[in-house]
A and B are shown apart, each in its own frame.
Chain A
Amino acid sequence: MSMRQAMKPAHIARSLGKKRAGGVLILLVFMLFFYGPLLYMLPLAFANKYEYPAIAPTQYGFQWWKYVLDQPNVVEAIVNSFLFAFASTILALIICIPAAYVLARFKFKGRKFIMLLFLIGNAFPKIGMYTSIGIIYYRIGLMGTFLGVLLIHMLGTMMQMIWLPAGAFRSVPRHQEEAARDAGAGPIRTFFHVTLPIAWPGIAVAAMYAFIGSLGESVGTLMVGLPKYRTMMTEMYGVILDFPATAGAVFALIIVIPNIVLLMLMRNYIGGGALAKGFKMS
């Protein structure tokens, strides 16, 4: 069989089997649907000139990057975005990991209910929740404060930060913890040397979600933080309303890049296999 013959689509379809070929097709359509808009952002962000009826930009360059970065509040917004993302992720880790461990390992009355509670928090329409939070914030003076915005960001990540780590803790074989106790480690040393490292992929994935979620948080920040605390997301609202789509694409890329870098870092740091394992909810 010649190479060319082997490459014919009909051949591929036959060798894969009809079902498989159908599956591949569905995957392709899905990928296009999923990544199409993302890919479209690339030429858009680097377009200096892009006018109707041209299908692709007629001139490429960094014009809009310069424009966006020259905006008076943009650098501050970027700094703020990362500040809130780091702070809320770390704080959420500190609070949620012990809670997740307790929920995973100890049987007590109301355990299932508490787990469910974290789900229900996510089921409410966010905007309604923010309104009532806003009222409380006014009362206790959290409106327009760093802490106020931070709490809003953490609120959005609570569910993943409890459920994913709890699943990760539950999948640590008990014998591995008991073996550590047996070898002479107390409960705390056992947690830090055995339980936590073994559950780490699941926790890292949760932290990544939290970080990305915080970078993407907009409505709550708008309501609680403005005008004092601007983030990339709140700035983007203004940019999208006032300037061409090109500027929006630049902004979107600025937000996407750290997410991709984060994913890559995680992949290298904890390994693709472990990462995949961490994603599986249990």
Chain B
Amino acid sequence: MANAKLEIIDMTKLYNNGDGVKNINITVEKGELLTLLGPSGCGKTTILRAIGGFNDIQGGDIRIDGNSIIALPPEKRPTAMVFQSYNLWPHMTVYDNMEFGLKLRKVPKAERKARISEMLEMVKMPGVEKKYPGQMSGGQQQRIAIARSLLLRPEVLLLDEPFSALDAKIRQQMREELRKIQTDLNITVVFVTHDQEEAMALSDRVIVMNKGSIEQCGSPAEIYDRPVSRYVADFIGEMNFLQIKGKTLAVRPEYVKVAPGKGGDLDGYVRTVMMLGHYVEMTMDTDYGIVKTFISEDESRAYHKGDPVAMTFSKQFEY
């Protein structure tokens, strides 16, 4: 592949206790932001640490620009990694933290200074050079950690749930800023999260993982619109599951159209009507389980608990 920046080929990494990941194949293109998504313990960090050089692997290969990197220690790899927490060195100022890697690369002093202040500008934290990590909030520390990694101009940036310790509002903001910086600098990023919303909002492509292996890989829209398995359908977005004659029918709430009365694809009775801001969530009891849909406030006036509802499905999946 001409544009492949990072290739993981049939990689296996198992810990002594048998946990780990098996036969992983991933290709990341230059300038792409790829997300590894899955519940806690499914092996996301294991893959990321293998790329960064912190896990040696039992089988397969990892290549950057076509060259195998598996024999290299972390300090020789053209990757940079940001962890969930404890990234910064607490005994060094922000400036010293950022300068560390540049010094090792023998960047001249004046250039170091210029690059650091430029990078601090980019992560919207100018003037914090003299602060110690302990004097900053968690969000600010993660910004500096990302800035410190970006300074080293890595071929591939590895981010392991960098925002998951932050509160929702800051997380959202950091996400947007990261996406902007990533596209501006055209850097290749592998991002790890267990938060499907974060994955959908941020990524060019998402890999959904399940117990140490890859379940589906595709753009956020593909994964949302065509989940290949019940697992993915369940994990991404909201989904109604109906057990009908040994088969599982899956329908997203927004594809459930409702009308008062009977005679739809499926009939049921109103169970709850809940106002959720600018829309209303309605659930219905049916013979095959509970179905959820979203309607407008106007529409919702026609429905009361126990009323019959006729449902039609504009799109459905079968598993």
Contact call A185/B89, Cβ cutoff below 8 A: no
Contact call B75/A175, Cβ cutoff below 8 A: no
Contact call A180/B52, Cβ cutoff below 8 A: no
Residues of A within 8 A of B149 (CB): 182
A194 to chain B, nearest CB (A): 6
Complex formed: what's the CA distance from A211 to B87 in Å?
A: 34
- Judged by a CB distance under 8 angstroms, whether B39 is at the interface is no
- Judged by a CB distance under 8 angstroms, whether B142 is at the interface is no
Q: Mark B128-170, 1 if CB is under 8 A from A, else 0.
A: 0000000000000000010011001000000000000000000
Q: Mark B78-116, 1 if CB is under 8 A from A, else 0.
A: 011101111111110000000011001100000000000
CB within 8 Å of A: which of B253-279? none
Q: Please count the residue pairs between chain A and chain B whose beta carbons lie under 8 angstroms apart in the complex.
A: 66
Complex formed: what's the CA distance from A18 to B261 in Å?
A: 71
Residues of A within 8 A of B75 (CB): 181-186
A270 to chain B, nearest CB (A): 10
- Judged by a CB distance under 8 angstroms, whether B319 is at the interface is no
- Judged by a CB distance under 8 angstroms, whether B54 is at the interface is yes
The interface size of chain A toward B, counting residues with CB under 8 Å, comes to 19
Complex formed: what's the CA distance from A178 to B84 in Å?
A: 13
Residues of B within 8 A of A184 (CB): 75, 101, 104-105, 152
Contact call B100/A183, Cβ cutoff below 8 A: yes
- Judged by a CB distance under 8 angstroms, whether B73 is at the interface is yes
A203 to chain B, nearest CB (A): 13
- Judged by a CB distance under 8 angstroms, whether A176 is at the interface is yes
Residues of A within 8 A of B81 (CB): 178-179, 182
Most buried by B among A173, A176, A178, A184: A184
Closest residue of chain A to B49, judged by CB? A178
- Judged by a CB distance under 8 angstroms, whether B60 is at the interface is no
Contact call A182/B91, Cβ cutoff below 8 A: no
B140 to chain A, nearest CB (A): 17
Q: Mark A156-190, 1 if CB is under 8 A from B, else 0.
A: 00000000000000000111101111111110010
- List 6 other contacts, CB 8 Å, given A176-B90, A198-B91: A175-B86, A181-B74, A182-B79, A183-B104, A184-B152, A198-B90
Among all A-B residue pairs, the 6 with the closest Cβ atoms: A183-B101, A173-B86, A175-B86, A181-B74, A184-B104, A175-B83
